[in-house]
Amino acid sequence: MTSGDKLFGRLLGRTSATPLAPPSVPMPGLHLQLDSQGHVLTIGGTLRPQLATRALGESRPLLRELLCAGSALSIEGSPVDWQRQSLDLDFQAVAGQVLHTRGWIEPEGAGWCLRLQDIGDLLAGRQRAQHREQNHQLACQMSEQLRVCSLPRVPDVFNEHLRSLAQRWRIPCIALALLDEEDQGWRIYSHYAAHDAPDLWQTGQALGTCLDSANGNAPLSLAQARSDNPRLQGIFGDADGLLVPYRDSRGVAAWLLCGFFSGQSQTSERDWLNLTAALAAPLLSRLREQRYHRQLERMEALQGLLGTGWWELLPSTQEIQLAPQLLHNLGADDTPSRQALSQWLELIHPADRQELGSRLHDLQTLGKPLLASVRLQRSDADHNPLWYRVQGQVLGVGDSRRWIGFMLDISDIKNQQTQAAAAHARLDNLIASSPAVIYVQRYVNGALHPAFFSDSLLPLLGWTLADCNHDSLASLIHPDDRDLYFERTRQLLREGAVRSRYRLRDKQGQYHWLLDEAKLLRDDLGLPLEAVGLWLDVTEATLAAEQVKQSEERYRILVEDSPAMICRYRPDLTLTFGNTPLANHLECLPAQLPGLNLGHWLSDEQRQAFVQRIGQLTVEFPVSTAEISLELPGREHAWWVWSDRGVFDEQGRLVEIQAVGRDNTEVRRSQQQLTQSAKMATLGEMATGLAHEINQPLNVMRMAIVNMLKRLSSGDAQADYLTEKLQRIDAQVQRATRVVDHMRVFGRRSEIEQHPFDPSQAVEGMLSLLGEGLRGKGVELRIAPADFTLQVKGYVDQLEQVLINLVVNARDALLSKRHTDPAFRPCIAIHCEHDSRHLRIWVEDNGPGIDPRLLERIFEPFFTTKPIGVGTGLGLSVSYGIVENMGGRLSVANGEHGARFCVELPLI
């Protein structure tokens, strides 16, 4: 066996040859002498100084005690078990480092020799290769996702990639700055900051041109870049950072900014450049694509708005290529974009088709630019034609020539020109036949000389331009207006515009009122050139204005001297005008009325009803009349009969109200006095019955007292007996008190304003006054209890008065019939019914009824069928007025058994 074979065998651990004598020079690597149990005897080799344990002394540690934790776990058993294995061992080195080794073990003498070589560089290279491969895969993945995602999702996908980079390299703040092509500065496109890191940048933040001077060939740490470009201090502040450029064919197009990051990592400059390129390159491509799509969309939108589009002529095939938007504008969506030239010409109106064909031929053969205005062939083209401007030119020379042009919708312009021409013709005709004259006066040597009059001068005044020259024009002005005319000329030259009114004599000697409006035209130096003006004959309007002024004066006198109150006010009751009578009632001056509010003198309930009433005014029914109650200064209450008329605008909205009112206070007070008199008369007529109502409890009390005195005199007055008698006396006292109290309440004057109340209260009040009296006279009173509770608006005491009048009249008629027929059993029935809008109270009797000839007069004042001296004849008349004042109606008819009165009241 050769020496080489022996060495190779020792390397493989297949020989037990004795170890060579140690050389004088330390052997490379690390050599450990081990015993059979794995204890370290000696350590040698060039790597020995790097170990954390250099001197063994007498201690013989196991091999695993010198290894790192992870590597120690991989060494199990004794050295004899480690033969023929490649051993990767990590030793604890100095300064807390790790020494990575690889080697083998071989027998040597009675022990073992572990020979190891340093593989740290090999592992670091492999790690760098893996890291580079991971970076490359990440860059490819980011680039691919940015290229394939939809345009709207590009910002979101890019933000996700920024976040991934920040988390992978532990960069607190990261952003990408792009070159803004508009202002040629740098701007933050997107940024990401960790939750615990301050924001160095904001999306859309403008950075200016501070990055232009940075080296754009390799990544720069901020410390290196600040020495060359101090302006970067404004971007990063005091934080550390890394700047990575991206270059394309135009130069540096993007910068990756890493804030609070020193750049100390295994990522090389090439990796940073590749990562930045993987982000920036597809992003810039997609942004350019987005701008291109937006330009296309804007172009298509602009073509749609303008009704335009391009076309290209193909002479070799006699075809024409049309833009899709142009086909849509022409209404030919169902036709192909490439079609025969003759087919396209069929879209043109026959009147313009030959001219367009000829110009297209000149464009092909002579290269003459095409410019024409044509109409489209449409069924309604005569009424609403579609005009297009067709323009074309030749691009290129020789075989590369192209015939390209566009079509532009000019229908609005053409139609406006047509309408303007027609309007101009109509205006000329109108001016010639209208009471208006257009004139031009030239400025010559400080004076204005007539230079032009429209044709309407002759039919209006009978003069010509020669008759109205500078020397004779002033003599045609009315003598009283000449100073005004001269002042008009001076004002025109001084201020540049004037408006005046004066009289001018016509050829027949009659004077016309003219409204003169003129404007002075000046040159670039501000010197007067000419005056352009208009004479408008306002004779009729001036005379009419004088008549209107006179009429207004007469109307003002009529309004002010009228005894009625006349005013105007807005829907919120704010006065805009009021005459003297209204001011006198409100105790102020007429000039103080505008701005006052009528609601100030109305109660809340009256104001609400007033506003509701005028709110119901319409254009079809603009008038409303009502009686309103006010609290005027110095007076307790006043009643006005008020009539409103609404004034509406063009949309039918109520703008103002014109009102006329008269004071109805005295009439209303007379009615109240009449009602009160009728009420007192009713009490007088009921005096006998009321006396019975009071005497009846007095008799009961008298008998109770007599019985109590007898018992007391006989000494047989027990406490229970006395208590019973006293309770009976107390009940009768309460009965008499209720009658007297109700008489006192009924006899009062009614309240000023109406209030909601339950009609059953009036029925109960009537019963308390008449119930006992009717039963005492043998008249049966049937009251049908109502199973509902409703509200009406008015006066409860006045409704009670109405019911008392009706019941008393029925009682008298029934008693009169019983006087002639003793077997007759009189009866009065009262019941109520209602629908959705009204409540009806029926009062019926079984008497003889009412003579049909008297039914129409029964509600007349002072009309009565009773004997002279019995009754006043006001009961039914007053009752009729009371019900009518409450918005209801009182009616009468003969029923099957007698008279039937109906009180109908509106519900609220």
Is pLDDT larger for residue 303 or for residue 656? Answer: 656
Most confident option among 398-412, 429-443, 746-760, 836-850? 836-850
Exposure on the CB side of residue 663, measured as CA atoms within 13 A: 15
Domains of the chain (ranges plus CATH)?
Answer: 3-118 (3.30.450), 132-295 (3.30.450.40), 307-417 (3.30.450.20), 435-543 (3.30.450.20), 562-663 (3.30.450.20), 672-906 (3.30.565.10)
What pLDDT shows up at residue 738?
Answer: 61
Residue with tokens 């980079």: 165
In this structure, the dihedral spanned by the alpha carbons of residues 381, 382, 386 and 392, taken in order and rounded to 10 degrees, is 100
What pLDDT shows up at residue 680?
Answer: 58
Q: Is 590 helix (H, G, I), strand (E, B) or coil?
A: helix
Q: pLDDT tens, 145-196?
A: 889 899 889 999 999 999 998 888 888 899 999 988 776 788 899 999 988 8
Tell me the two tokens of residue 292.
């291109």
Single-letter amino acid, residue 190: S
Cα–Cα distance, 439 to 454 (Å, whole number): 6
Long-range contacts: 486-495, Cβ < 8 Å, 24+? 488/516, 488/518, 489/448, 492/448, 492/518, 492/520, 492/531, 493/443, 493/448, 493/520, 493/528
Checking if the pLDDT of 720 tops 70, the result is: yes
Q: pLDDT tens, 492-533?
A: 999 999 999 999 999 999 999 999 999 999 988 889 999 999
Single-letter amino acid, residue 330: L
Is pLDDT larger for residue 59 or for residue 840? Answer: 840
- DSSP notation for 612-674: HHHHT--SSS-EEEEEEEE--TTSS-EEEEEEEEEEE-TTS-EEEEEEEEEE-HHHHHHHHHH
User: Do 390 and 372 touch, CB atoms closer than 8 A?
Assistant: yes
Cα–Cα distance, 180 to 178 (Å, whole number): 6
Residue 216 neighbours by CB distance under 10 Å: 18
What pLDDT shows up at residue 671?
Answer: 65
Q: What percent of the chain has pLDDT over 90?
A: 20
- pTM of full prediction above 0.85: no
Average pLDDT, the chain: 82
Q: Is 861 helix (H, G, I), strand (E, B) or coil?
A: coil
Q: Averaged over 317-321, what is the pLDDT?
A: 88
- 781: β partners: 828
Checking if the pLDDT of 748 tops 60, the result is: no
> Would you place residue 13 in the very low, low, confident or very high pLDDT band (cuts 50, 70, 90)?
very low
Q: Spell out a b/e string for 668-707, using b for 16 or more CB atoms within 10 Å of the CB, else e.
A: beebeeebbebbebbbebbeebbeebbebbeebbeebeee
Is pLDDT larger for residue 50 or for residue 730? Answer: 50
Report the DSSP pairing between strands 623-630 and 638-648: antiparallel
